[in-house]
Amino acid sequence: MNVSGERTFAAPRDAVWKVLNDPASMAKTMPGVQSFDIHDAERWTANVKIPLGLGGLKMQIDMNKTEERAPEFAKLQIKGKGVGAMLNMETSFELSDADGGTAMKWAAEVKLAGPVGSMGQRVLQPIVNQQVEHVLSALDREVQAAVAGGA
Amino acid sequence: MTSTTITPERVESDAPAATQKGQNVPRKEDRRLVQGEGIFVDDVKRHGMGYIHFVRSPYAHAHITSIDVSKAEELPGVYGTLTGEEVASLTEPFFQLAREPASHLQDYALAVGKVRFVGESIVAVVAETRELARDASELVEIEYDPIAPIVDARMAQGDAPVLHDDAGTNVMWEGSFEWGDLDAAFAEADKIIKIDELHFHRFNSTPLETNGALAEFNRGTGQWTIHCNNQFPGFAAIMMGPALRCGIDKLRFVTQDIGGGFGNKITTHPQLVVCCLLARKLRRPVQWTEWRTDFHMSMSHANERWFLDTEVAVKNDGTLLGFRTKALDDTGAWLRYEPLGCIIWSQVAPGMYRWRNIRVDFTQVATNKAPCSPNRGYSRMQHLWFTERVIDIVAHELDLDPVDVRKLNYVRSDEMPYETPNGCVYDSGDYARMLDLGLELVDYANIDARRADAKARGKLLGLGIGSTLDSGTNNFAQSQLINSDLQFSGNNEVATVKLDIFGEIVVTLGTVPQGQGHETPTSQVVSDILGCSVDDVQVRAGHDSYWNSHAGFSGTYASQFAVTGLGAVKGAADLLAAQIKRLGSAVLGAPIEALELAEGSVRIKDNPEVALPFMACGAIINANNAGLPDDLEDVTLNCRYVYKPPFQVPDLERNFGNLTLTYATQIHVAVIEVDPETGYYDIVDYAAVDDCGKRINPRIVEGQVMGATALALGAATWEIYAYDEDGNLLTPNFYDYHVPHALDMPPLKTADIESPSPFTPLGTKGMGEGGGAGIHAICAAVQDALRGNGDAIVADSHNPYHKVWELLEHPAEAGGHVSVVNA
């Protein structure tokens, strides 16, 4: 499944970039994070409980930053492993200056394998859309907090 | 479709039947089944047994980089595990029917080093409860390195990733079949109809009871007892014995009641091997009952098939001269019964038509989907659908009536027995008469008025015809046409009939019934021969390879019980009847010619009061036999007969020979009304006409007809194993995979004719696999309804409502691409 979109933040590009590359800030934006470990600047792991259909889907998430051009572009490879499900996601975002702030174009290719992937197909798209909206809203809050803190 | 099924009225005669054959004797099995007293595999329990749960692959294609079962094994209540690596050291890979290079496939009971479809078994976990085994399986840690999957057979060649490095290719079998003179046929043609692509989709029969087994290992004798619901233990034994490095006498298969098989319960040998290994390893009985989702993901899908670049040579009047096509068969990840499907279609190479010139280039490829294996109508269903589709497309393109094209080209009744271009022999039948019966049932004479009435209501009415030739009783020599090294030919089945000490008539069968009702027609045949009532005949339920006499091809599959099973029963009963008469002759002092068997006794025809009851016969031979004449030395009243159909080995060079003994026929006619706004359609009229030769129990036949119709309508409209681009099965349960229930069935009208087979002992034909007719009837009805409304060509066997909407909205893109060339 491919999802993509665009969002504008009322903040300078450096501030947005900083939040997007700060694991602690990003952890606050992700849904259902139960624990978060930073191994180095490129690799983070997390235990999450993703709301998917009935109940939640517990997964161990491994994130690797595979490409970076500060302060405009980054690509992450995300692998998740849970009971009955394997998640593979490649996501990237691109920042540019925009009127009154920073525009972010983002895209993600999500692959969910295994029985959950089979049975969850009919509910996956709306859930992903919903979660993306949550993440972006949380990201906005983090950016504003960072701007406010920096100011 | 919300109409209630209407069964046809039957007038029962009160007069005593001259013979039991042909009577609607109530099924003897039904008392125990409707009272819940049947014994199915999951009912079998043993003290201390463990429950198996399989850990299955979430990936369609991946290397397995590590497996760690330690956390699962540490869980209290877990008895143990089995991994692919252990299987590889403890067993041999399963014997492959394929020739090189597919013969090099290393197929083990669990995945070894690599997974090739979502749902493939990797580890088996055994625990004290089913739920615990399932929970413990979640503690098994497996690391994967994913590989790009192949989910479209058309993309399996060229640069595609290879599933089986041992074979080095995804082509599992390929060969060309040509009969007649194609060049002459195309030269004679007025028109050549070209059809780019036709597609027969993937589904199966979803038996009510999933697969299962309980395995016990006797360490003293080295023998396994496998209580299971496998429908072809003879095949399972051939696969399992060499794999387990034991003789097949060490594998005792026991079945009793089975909740449907449809071919889907033939290829459980990998799971049964796992059960056997675990019973031996853990020193306890182990039990496996397949979850529904596991069945959908991993068990015996029907072959998906493409027909590419088809060309049909026709005269302007619709006379069919010949066709050529490229069949591309998707067999999934493993060859568990394949590549037999690459030849079995040719039992019906010309369909019901007088095509004399045929070329089929057949290729079977592996894909990252569940393995294909027999399914009701195995391999012929796909090909017959193709031939039927060609008929309607030809009629469409030449602006002819599909009814006329069929009648013009049907093999005629006066041509029976009819030898097809590839040497098969259609034994008997009258297709044109069957079609007339079907048309009459749906009031074809007034179809134009009904079409106009539907149009006035804003609906599009369509009428479609579908046909099945249900070829039954295989000649296993056809396996040599796909691999000349195979040493299988002919067919056989066995039965024993004995007269026991108190006069009980006891029958054992080599067959493995799964709900067909074998006990009842068996009793009818025996009672006619022995002159007793049906109730006097005891047919042992189920199959036990230790106690039931059986032959190499024993089992219940491929529409053959009415021929092989009942042929064996008749043979054994005839032998017993002869022995009873010889005993009666000695005791009553009358010549054998003067005797008859009637009312449970052997008696003098002209003086019926002089009779020796069966009870006395049984007692004399079994318990009071001193002083019997020497010429009764061989009279045991315990008779075994092996029925062998009269087959020859085909000509392997010409792909020519008789591949099957009988051809039952089904012609279905569907009338549908399509809502042009949504594509939704109702089946407003439906007729199923059956000819299976002599019918032993018409009501059982009627049940098969209705069941096959339900299978067809489900496949035509709802049932599909759909995969996404990553190889995830999108229909892994009954929520997504809708099987029609009673309220989905249309009003069903049935009729029948009887064309007795001249080749079988009772004039019977097997008839369990007639579902294909309905699949095509819906395709043809949709195409007919869309005539003048976009004129889409229906090119797929699966036509859900949204697909019909697409055909209405985008006929060129969603339909098949056809062109007509003047020859």
**Residues of chain A neighbouring B297 (CB-CB closer than 8 A):** 115, 118
Residue A58 pLDDT more than 90?
A: no
Nearest CA in chain B to A82: B138
How many helices (H) and strands (E) would you count in chain A? Answer: 4, 7
Within 10 angstroms of residue B658's Cβ, the number of other Cβ atoms is 23
* Interface contact flag, A117 B56, Cβ < 8 Å: no
* Interface contact flag, A118 B146, Cβ < 8 Å: no
**Residues of chain A neighbouring B724 (CB-CB closer than 8 A):** 121
d(CA B378, CA B373): 8
d(CA B439, CA B433): 10
Q: List the single residue in A85, A111, A115 with the smallest CB-CB distance to B726.
A: A111
CA distance A85 to chain B (A): 6
CA distance A70 to chain B (A): 31
* Interface contact flag, A114 B118, Cβ < 8 Å: yes
Residue B504 CA: distances (Å) to CA of A42, B534, B574, B610: 82, 12, 16, 21
Q: List the single residue in A85, A119, A122 with the smallest CB-CB distance to B58.
A: A85
CA distance A75 to chain B (A): 20
Tokens of B637: 């009243």
**Residues of chain A neighbouring B370 (CB-CB closer than 8 A):** none
Closest to B643 (Cα-Cα) out of B573, B704, B718, B571: B571
What mean pLDDT comes out for the span B159-177?
A: 97
Range name among A25-39, B290-304, B392-406 with the lowest pLDDT average: A25-39
Residue B680 CA: distances (Å) to CA of A35, B597, B686, B717: 50, 60, 17, 10
Q: What is the pLDDT of residue A52?
A: 64
Q: Which CATH architecture has domain B493-643?
A: 2-Layer Sandwich (3.30)
Q: What is the pLDDT of residue A122?
A: 65
d(CA B477, CA B658): 9
Tokens 């100011």 -> residue: A151
Compute the mean pLDDT over every residue in chain B, rounded to the nearest whole number: 95
d(CA B406, CA B496): 45
CA distance A119 to chain B (A): 7
β pairing state of B749-752 and B681-691: parallel
CA distance A59 to chain B (A): 12
Nearest CA in chain A to B120: A114
- Would you place residue B289 in the very low, low, confident or very high pLDDT band (cuts 50, 70, 90)? very high
**Residues of chain A neighbouring B729 (CB-CB closer than 8 A):** 118
Q: What is the pLDDT of residue A54?
A: 55
- Single-letter amino acid code for the residue at B702: E
Range name among A130-134, B350-354, B422-426 with the lowest pLDDT average: A130-134
Give pLDDT tens digits for B211-247: 999 999 999 999 999 999 999 999 999 999 999 999 9
Residue B4 pLDDT more than 60?
A: no
Q: Which CATH architecture has domain B175-204+300-477+650-811?
A: 2-Layer Sandwich (3.30)
- Would you place residue B519 in the very low, low, confident or very high pLDDT band (cuts 50, 70, 90)? very high
d(CA B347, CA B479): 12
Residue B137 pLDDT more than 50?
A: yes
**For residues B149, B153, B154 and B158, what is the CA-based torsion angle, rounded to 10 degrees?**
60
Quote the crossing angle between the two packed helices B431-441 and B402-409, to the nearest 10°.
Answer: 160
d(CA B751, CA B537): 31
Q: What is the pLDDT of residue A111?
A: 82
Q: What is the pLDDT of residue A151?
A: 44
- For chain B, domain boundaries: 44-147+208-260+266-298, 175-204+300-477+650-811, 493-643
Residue B7 pLDDT more than 70?
A: no
* Interface contact flag, B728 A86, Cβ < 8 Å: no
Helix (H) or strand (E) holding B288: strand B286-289
- Single-letter amino acid code for the residue at B472: G
Q: What is the pLDDT of residue B180?
A: 98
Q: Which residues, 6 or more positions from B281, have their beta carbon under 8 angstroms from its beta carbon?
A: B80, B82
Portion 591-630 of B in contact with A at CB < 8 A: none
Q: Which residues, 6 or more positions from A56, have their beta carbon under 8 angstroms from its beta carbon?
A: A32, A49, A50
**Residues of chain B neighbouring A60 (CB-CB closer than 8 A):** none
d(CA B442, CA B432): 16
Q: What is the pLDDT of residue B101?
A: 96
Residue A119 pLDDT more than 80?
A: no
d(CA B464, CA B447): 12
Closest to B104 (Cα-Cα) out of B164, B182, B18, B24: B164
Q: Pick the residue with more confidence: B453 or B2?
A: B453
pLDDT-above-70 percentage for chain B: 98
Q: Where are the beta strands (DSSP E) in B675-803?
A: 681-691, 749-752
What mean pLDDT comes out for the span A95-117?
A: 87
CATH topology of domain A2-150: Alpha-D-Glucose-1,6-Bisphosphate; Chain A, domain 4 (3.30.530)
Q: What is the pLDDT of residue B156?
A: 97
- Would you place residue B311 in the very low, low, confident or very high pLDDT band (cuts 50, 70, 90)? very high
Tokens 């919903």 -> residue: A130
Q: List the single residue in B58, B60, B733 with the smallest CB-CB distance to A84.
A: B58
Tokens of B648: 């020859």
Residue B430 pLDDT more than 90?
A: yes
Q: List the single residue in A111, A113, A115 with the smallest CB-CB distance to B732.
A: A115
What mean pLDDT comes out for the span B156-176?
A: 97
**Residues of chain A neighbouring B56 (CB-CB closer than 8 A):** 115
Tokens 């933040």 -> residue: A9
**Residues of chain A neighbouring B57 (CB-CB closer than 8 A):** 114
Portion 97-116 of A in contact with B at CB < 8 A: 111-115
What mean pLDDT comes out for the span B270-277?
A: 98
DSSP for B466-534 reads: EEEEEEEEE-GGGHHHH-TT----S--EEEEEEE-TTS-EEEEES---SSS-THHHHHHHHHHHHTS-G
- Would you place residue B121 in the very low, low, confident or very high pLDDT band (cuts 50, 70, 90)? very high
* Interface contact flag, A118 B56, Cβ < 8 Å: no
* Cis bond upstream, residue B613 (ω within 30): no
Q: What is the DSSP letter of B726?
A: T
SS3 for B305-360 is EEEEEEEEEECCCCCEEEEEEEEEEECCCCCCCCCCHHHHHHHHCCCCECCCEEEE
Range name among A21-35, B105-119, B450-464, B664-678 with the lowest pLDDT average: A21-35
**Residues of chain A neighbouring B148 (CB-CB closer than 8 A):** none
Q: List the single residue in A86, A88, A115 with the smallest CB-CB distance to B293.
A: A115
Residue B244 CA: distances (Å) to CA of B112, B213, B254, B274, B552: 16, 17, 18, 10, 19
What mean pLDDT comes out for the span B380-386?
A: 98
Selected residue of A90, A116, A118, A121 to mutate for chain B interface (largest B Cβ count, 10 A): A118
Range name among A130-144, B143-157, B786-800 with the lowest pLDDT average: A130-144
CA distance A73 to chain B (A): 27
* Cis bond upstream, residue B513 (ω within 30): no
Q: What is the pLDDT of residue B9?
A: 40
**Residues of chain A neighbouring B733 (CB-CB closer than 8 A):** 119
Residue A118 pLDDT more than 80?
A: no
Tokens 């995804």 -> residue: B170
- Would you place residue B691 in the very low, low, confident or very high pLDDT band (cuts 50, 70, 90)? very high
Closest to B638 (Cα-Cα) out of B507, B772, B479: B507
Residue B6 pLDDT more than 70?
A: no
* Interface contact flag, A113 B56, Cβ < 8 Å: no
- Would you place residue B705 in the very low, low, confident or very high pLDDT band (cuts 50, 70, 90)? very high
d(CA B419, CA B72): 61
Selected residue of B728, B735, B738 to mutate for chain A interface (largest A Cβ count, 10 A): B728
Nearest 5°: phi and psi at B153?
Answer: -55, -30
Q: What is the pLDDT of residue B737?
A: 95
- Would you place residue A112 in the very low, low, confident or very high pLDDT band (cuts 50, 70, 90)? confident
Residue A116 pLDDT more than 80?
A: no
Q: Are B483 and B172 in contact (CB under 8 A)?
A: no
* Interface contact flag, B728 A85, Cβ < 8 Å: no
CATH topology of domain B44-147+208-260+266-298: Aldehyde Oxidoreductase; domain 3 (3.90.1170)
Q: How many CA atoms lie within 13 A of B191 on its CB side?
A: 19
Q: Does A125 touch chain B (CB under 8 A)?
A: no
Q: What is the pLDDT of residue A150?
A: 63
What mean pLDDT comes out for the span B600-627?
A: 96
Torsion over CA: B269, B271, B275, B280 (sign): positive
**Residues of chain B neighbouring A121 (CB-CB closer than 8 A):** 724, 728, 730
Q: What is the pLDDT of residue B692?
A: 97
**Residues of chain B neighbouring A53 (CB-CB closer than 8 A):** none
Q: Where are the beta strands (DSSP E) in A29-151?
A: 33-38, 43-51, 56-69, 73-82, 85-98, 101-113
Q: Are B746 and B685 in contact (CB under 8 A)?
A: yes
Query: How many beta-carbon pairs below 8 A join chains A and B?
Result: 49
Same fold, B175-204+300-477+650-811 and B493-643: yes
What mean pLDDT comes out for the span A61-66?
A: 91
- Would you place residue B93 in the very low, low, confident or very high pLDDT band (cuts 50, 70, 90)? very high
What mean pLDDT comes out for the span B489-494?
A: 95
pTM score: 0.92
Q: Does A117 touch chain B (CB under 8 A)?
A: yes
Q: Are B273 and B82 in contact (CB under 8 A)?
A: no
* Interface contact flag, B730 A118, Cβ < 8 Å: yes
Q: What is the pLDDT of residue A55?
A: 64
SS3 for B160-174 is CCCCCCCCCCCEEEE
pLDDT-above-90 percentage for chain B: 93
d(CA B23, CA B18): 10
CA distance A72 to chain B (A): 31
Q: What is the pLDDT of residue A100?
A: 83
**Residues of chain B neighbouring A85 (CB-CB closer than 8 A):** 58
Q: Does A83 touch chain B (CB under 8 A)?
A: yes
